[in-house]
Amino acid sequence: MLKNKQLLDNLQELGLKVLYPEQIKFSVGMASCGRASGAEEVFNALREEIEQTGLGAIVTPTGCLGFCQKEPLVYLQVPGQPRLVYGNFNSNRAKELVQAVRQGELYKKMLLGTVYEDENVVEGTSHQLSSPSFVSGQSEGLRQLKDHHFYKGQLKIATRNCGNIDPGSITEYVAMGGYQAFYDCLQKTPAEVIETIKQSGLRGRGGGGFPTGSKWEFARNNVAPQKFVICNADEGDPGAYMDRSILEGDPHSVIEGMLVGGYAIGADTGIIYCRAEYPLAVETITNAIDQARTLGLLGRDILCSGFSYDIKVVKGAGAFVCGEETALIASIEGFMGEPRPRPPFPAQQGLWGYPTIINNVETWANISPIICRGGDWYAKIGTEKSKGTKVFALVGDVRNNGLVEVPMGTSIREIVYSIGGGTDPNLKIKAVQTGGPSGGCIPEHMLDIPVDYDKLLEAGTIMGSGGMVVMNERSCMVDVSRFFMSFTQEESCGKCVPCREGTKRILDMLEDICQGKVSDLRQLDLLNELAETIKDTSLCGLGQTAPNPVLSTLRHFRNEFEAHITNKFCSAGVCQNLFNLVINSDLCIGCGLCSKACPQAAINGEKGNPFTIDQELCVQCRICVQTCNKNAILAVENAKRGGSVHA
């Protein structure tokens, strides 16, 4: 049991030896994305090959480095040499790598970059793996990972340890300055701790953007016999998985944040409410809690301070609405996830009626560096009203899918084009969707908007939890708004009339528009008006933001709605029966791939000459569109609905 600072320091020393051992170390990204791509096979292959070849090396698991497109990721650390980071690995490459290491050769296949030094964000120091002038005749001219365009614009604070440490090892967490912040807090008063968080300007990263320090202050000032700290890990936005990544890659950062929060407001109980759909995250955080308890960092009289605190994990049961604070509280109390009127706010009357602070995973992960480096250090990063960094899940029609952490103020254009690498060269980006079902779509010409809570609000969307979905011209914006509304309808708790009945009506109208059943443009006015009422009168954040996708697509892409209504035409080629597919003879190279893929045998032609689609046989399944490498297949107005077919 850790009783004082000396022991924490000793543990850090030990941790550094584990993190940077004297043997050769292989690490494999074993978070959910990695596993889904085959990381377990790679891990086992490395182990087997090492055993067979008798190489004195170890293999350890690590979290997600963010480059999900390149999973499984493998890291090779030879003492005294820069770390080598590989992507898109498989069992064969794993075996080859081990053999190359055995022979002292540099394995270059799938090498993403090198790492010469690891930054310790919490302490503001860095650990040199090898000198920059390291020359072996082989590693000259190799690109550093930090110069890879995916990583260049990033600044990792919340995800500082993800992909760098073994999430199952508390010693490695301590090696990177872990639990120093909590120790520092115990030497301060709770008011001083809160002041530091206020100074930092940290705002809730779950989407609400409420100033974290102020929230803690309200809870601190409410006198009550008991108080609670909750971590909202019910990440439900489709396309967003930042929180899962932090829980799977650096669980102790959340535990430490919650310890600080508990100390600051005077709570003795923390609850992590995690989606049941994240079994690996639940397992990882549960193990981390056990480790912290064993070391005496959770429990009674922690570090002889008189402060007692423990954390339990409660799994969600499949309801998106439980990401809303009062619904989350209701579900912990054993009720349906129905939101409750606010005021009173959870900081006044929360769980079981007691003052409760609820913060998102990413918010908690930011606490430790802020405490150690100071609120003003954090406040220097970002914009005037949005401080620090934000983690985004950059997904969709973008070359580099993954998790990126950037300083607030970075433009969406930079994230999508520089970090993300843009989209398929034959296609144009049409819009970027942020904020999940509560957010909106930003058209391409507006992508210079900086990532900032208020600027995104002005543009008709929200920061949200960090989902950033890139959509190219093959996305129909009417269909996108229909998709989000159907999501919201299913997830609505059903308590209040505007959300339950209103979203149903909006969904009906959007479905009719997508099926070409609407001919009156005035339906768009009704759609708008109903959307505004739902926004104005719904009981909770889910209902209040449910109309955002519709309102933003109506605002920025009204022409698509009008085309669906007036011309019964879906230019993106998505809405069934509202388009025909034709091959552009100028772009078609006659490769015949589409013809082979067509399940209806509707495409014919001679190799080397433009092919044609038989409209009688075509069922618009779009398999040909997805197969074509030249973007030569277009959606044109449906002849049967009065449009003319022209190539």
Site for another protein in 276-305 (CB under 8 A): 276-279
Q: Under rule CB under 8 A, which residues in 433-472 are in contact with another protein?
A: 433, 436, 467, 469, 471
Nearer to another protein, 189 or 629 (CB): 629
DSSP symbol at 70: G
Closest C-alpha among 374, 371, 15 to residue 180: 371
Position among 118, 325, 473, 491 found at the interface with another protein (CB under 8 A):
491
Which CB, 531 or 583, lies closer to another protein?
531
- Residue 490, interface with another protein (CB under 8 A)? yes
Phi, psi of 46, rounded to the nearest 5 degrees: -60, -45
**Minimum distance from residue 494 beta carbon to another protein (Å):** 3
Quick one: which of 299, 318, 319, 295 has its CA closest to 307? 299
Judged by CB under 8 A, does residue 356 bind another protein?
no
Residues 208-237 that bind another protein (CB under 8 A): 235-237
Subset of residues 587 to 626 that bind another protein, contact rule: CB under 8 A: 621, 626
Residue from the set 15, 350, 502, 547 that interacts with another protein by CB under 8 A:
502
**φ and ψ at residue 583, rounded to 5 degrees:** -95, 130
Helical ranges in 318-398 per DSSP H: 325-332, 361-373, 375-379
Comparing CA positions, the residue from 521, 535, 442 lying closest to residue 480 is: 442
The token pair that represents 443 in the structure block = 């058209």
- Residue 211 is classified by DSSP as B
Q: What's the rounded Cα separation, in Å, for the pair 159 and 406? A: 11
430 is an interface residue for another protein by CB under 8 A? no
Cβ distance to another protein smaller for residue 71 or 325: 71
Q: Round to whole Å and give the CA distance between 42 and 47.
A: 9
Among 12, 27, 62, 69, binds another protein (CB under 8 A): 69
Nearer to another protein, 149 or 312 (CB): 312
- The yes or no reply on residue 317 touching another protein (CB under 8 A) is yes
Residue 101 near another protein by CB under 8 A:
no
Q: Report in angstroms how near the CB of residue 316 gets to another protein at its nearest.
A: 7
Contact 331, 322 (CB under 8 A): yes
Q: Nearer to another protein by C-beta: 298 or 496?
A: 496
| One of 293, 500, 555, 630 touching another protein (CB under 8 A) | 500
User: Is-contact 73 163, C-beta < 8 A?
Assistant: yes
Minimum distance from residue 424 beta carbon to another protein (Å): 13
* From candidates 11, 165, 240, 415, binder to another protein by CB under 8 A: 240
Residues 378 to 407: which contact another protein by CB under 8 A?
393, 395-397, 401-402
Residue closer to another protein by CB (options 297, 625) is 625
Q: Based on CB atoms, which residue is closest to another protein, 191 or 497? A: 497
Is the Cβ of residue 183 or residue 484 nearer to another protein in the bound state? 484
Options 136-144, 381-389, 444-452, 479-487: segment touching another protein (CB under 8 A): 479-487
CB-based contacts of 476: which residues, under 8 Å, 6+ apart? 514, 560, 570, 571, 572, 573, 574, 575
Nearest approach, Cβ of residue 28 and another protein (Å): 17
Smallest distance from another protein to CB 314, Å: 4
* Spatial CB neighbours of 490, under 8 Å, sequence gap ≥ 6: none
Taking the C-alpha atoms of residue 440 and residue 412, their distance in angstroms, rounded to an integer, is: 14
Residue 45 beta carbon to another protein: minimum distance, rounded to whole angstroms:
12
* Exposure of 277 in the CB half-sphere (CA atoms within 13 A): 13
Q: Residue from 104, 343, 425, 608 that binds another protein (CB under 8 A)?
A: 343
Binding of another protein by 239 (CB under 8 A): yes
Residue among 175 and 462 whose Cβ is closer to another protein = 462
Strands 24-29 and 57-62: parallel
Place of tokens 């449906």: 638
Report how many residues bind another protein under the rule CB under 8 A: 85
- In angstroms, rounded to a whole number, what is the distance separating the alpha carbons of residues 418 and 406? 12
Cβ atoms of residues 309 and 298 within 8 Å: yes
- Distance (Å, whole) CA 441 – CA 548: 9
Shortest distance, CB of residue 596 to another protein, whole angstroms? 13
Q: What are phi and psi of 601, to 5 degrees?
A: 55, 40
9's tokens: 């320091």
Q: Pairing mode, if any, of strands 111-115 and 228-233?
A: unpaired
Residues linked to residue 111 through DSSP beta bridges, in sequence order: 86
Q: Which stretch binds another protein (CB under 8 A): 207-215, 272-280, 374-382, 603-611?
A: 272-280
Site for another protein in 511-540 (CB under 8 A): 526, 529-530, 533, 536-539
241 near another protein, judged by CB under 8 A = yes
* Least distance CB 581 / another protein (angstroms): 16
Please state the closest distance from residue 69 (CB atom) to another protein, in A: 5
Cβ burial of 374 (10 Å; 0-12, 13-18, 19+) is: middle
504 is a site residue for another protein (CB under 8 A): yes
Closest separation in Å from C-beta 503 to another protein: 8
Q: Which is nearer to another protein, 249 or 369 (CB)?
A: 249
Q: Which of 1, 191, 427, 497 lies at the binding interface for another protein (CB under 8 A)? A: 497
Complex with another protein: residue 371 or 633, whichever CB lies closer: 633
* Residue 366 binds to another protein (criterion: CB under 8 A): no
Q: Look up residue 330 and give its two tokens.
A: 């209701």
Say if residues 38 and 90 touch (Cβ distance below 8 Å).
yes
Neighbours of 446 (CB within 10 A): 16
Contact status: 47 vs another protein (CB under 8 A)? no
Quick one: which of 493, 583, 632, 633 contacts another protein (CB under 8 A)?
493
> Helix-strand-coil percent breakdown of the chain, rounded to 5?
40, 15, 40
- The residues in 132-161 that bind another protein, with binding defined as CB under 8 A, are none
Torsion sign across C-alpha atoms 349, 351, 353, 355: negative
User: 325 — alpha (psi -120 to 50), left (phi > 0) or beta?
Assistant: alpha
Residues 3-42 that bind another protein (CB under 8 A): 32-33, 35-37, 41
